Homo-oligomer: A and B are copies of this chain.
Amino acid sequence: MQKVLAKDLFTKEFKDGEEITIEGWIRTIRGSKKIGFIEVNDGSFLKNVQVVFSNDLEDFDDIKKFPISTTIEVIGELALTPGAQQPFEIHATSVKELGASDSDYPLQKKAHTYEYLRTIAHLRPRTNTFYSIFRIRSLAAFAVHEYLQHNGFNYIHTPIITSSDAEGAGEMFQVTTLDLNNVPKNEEGAVDYNEDFFKKETNLTVSGQLEVEAFALALRNVYTFGPTFRAENSHTGRHASEFWMIEPEMAFADMQDEINVSEELLKYVVQYVFDNAKEEIQFLNDNIDEHLIERLSNTVSEKFAEVTYTEAIDLLEKADVDFDVPVSWGLDLESEHERYLSEKVFKKPVFLTNYPKDIKAFYMRANDDGKTVAAADLLVPEIGELIGGSQREERLDLLEQKIKDLKLNEDEYKWYLELRKYGGTVHSGFGIGFERLVMYLTGMKNIRDVIAYPRTPGNAEF
């Protein structure tokens, strides 16, 4: 009598009549006077195993009353049922309760709203939808690592707590051990950070890019993949306060190299998920987004488009669409513009290159035209911007001037400038918002539904 996993039952060869044991949770149960049916999920596979039990079992009537989500052990005979909806079922010779479930279990058969399910984030992975999402999220994360590692990239864990404000990109969370009921003050009456844990003001990182650049200038190809934070009071379905970012960085690589690697990486991840989460992708296509498979197949098979920002503005100005935000050169594109370009014009992912310098970060490499920088963002259908990349300014004098012009704190960037002072190198990198990638892979429209325990303004439960 062997213990088996549902995953193996569905994907490997078993003999008709084999005696097997399976442990899992009751997803549905129904019974008549003589016979009962249980759908058991054991967590190893999206699909449930169908168990048939009859009144030959002594405790037939007790079994019938097991509430949903009871943990059970089923011993029985495997019956192959070729041609039927289920490829097999188990004819139970024993159904034993391993863990009781209360009858007020909130995930009864009826469908629940995503809003409600967020309030039971500890239980929602037991639904098919969230099971599929979190399986895909896991596979996508691994595919990112696998692609990068197999292509010579080194994973660098850049710091989460930081005393720099990176690009001054967004509002930051402060990290402190000071007693907020009694904040120590210095002689000038300001907060006395000498009393704080790190003896200075510290924040949660908004990006590991600057820190990982130092490693690109030593290990050549590197990446970060970790949590980042924005304390923005934003209540859209696209923004979370805590999210994960993938940030590869390559020495001796220009913008075109960076574009090529990011396209290859994205295709690799999509293909990996296709290969390893067939059932989950099919489920989401059937239940969440009927164009999911089409869109992802297209992502793998089509060469991504590439146009300059200036050409894109042209296309948007000519578009017969009434955008909420009017288009002109210099505009920081909104989601509506990005989606129009990828969904309507190119009908596939498209790189926009050479953005106006004024809407991009200080570290991006100045182009010779004096107006643009060597930035490349990837816009994809349904999401808009998925990847933001650029060649970095490797010329010490230009970078110093930029830091001065933008009145950034020069002291804080001293070490960053030293990366140019001691053997600077043409180098480039990009960032992928991992949750946006998971939204793209699952068809989910709200970022809160692709994060295990989402953090947004006013929400930090569990």
Contact = CB atoms under 8 A, between A and B. Distances in A.
A61 to B, nearest CB: 21
A157 B140 CA distance: 12
A241 interface: yes
Contacts of A25: 217, 423, 425
Contacts of A42: 220, 252
Given A155-B142, A227-B160, A69 B422 contact: yes
B202 A460 contact: yes
Given A42-B220, A122-B214, A142-B155, 20 more contacts: A43-B218, A43-B221, A69-B423, A71-B423, A101-B423, A121-B214, A122-B211, A125-B215, A134-B156, A134-B219, A135-B154, A138-B155, A142-B149, A156-B452, A161-B460, A173-B175, A174-B176, A175-B204, A181-B183, A197-B233
A58 to B, nearest CB: 23
Contacts of A325: none
A314 interface: no
A235 to B, nearest CB: 13
Interface string A124-141: 011000110011011101
Contacts of A7: 152
15 contacts: A42-B252, A43-B216, A71-B424, A99-B424, A100-B424, A122-B416, A122-B418, A131-B219, A138-B155, A145-B145, A171-B177, A173-B177, A175-B175, A181-B190, A197-B233
Given A219-B125, A457-B198, A251 B137 contact: no
The 5 A-B residue pairs with the shortest CB-CB distance in the complex, in nearest-first order: A43-B220, A125-B218, A122-B214, A99-B424, A138-B154
Contacts of A116: none
A110 to B, nearest CB: 16
A450 to B, nearest CB: 10
B122 A137 contact: no
A409 to B, nearest CB: 14
Interface string A151-190: 0101111111111100000010111111011010000001
Nearest to A172: B177
A453 interface: yes
Contacts of A452: 156-159, 211, 215
Contact of A460 (B135, B156, B162): B162
Interface string A42-56: 111000000000000
Nearest to A193: B180
B174 A180 contact: yes
A191 interface: yes
A160 B160 CA distance: 10
A420 interface: yes
A114 interface: no
Contact of A159 (B216, B457, B460): B460
A242 interface: yes
Contact of A161 (B23, B219, B241): B241
A79 interface: no
A424 B105 CA distance: 12
A461 B415 CA distance: 10
Given A122-B418, A423-B25, A156 B138 contact: yes
Nearest to A233: B197
A343 to B, nearest CB: 29
B175 A178 contact: no
A241 to B, nearest CB: 7
A459 interface: yes
Interface string A217-233: 11111000011010101
A9 interface: no
A277 B446 CA distance: 42
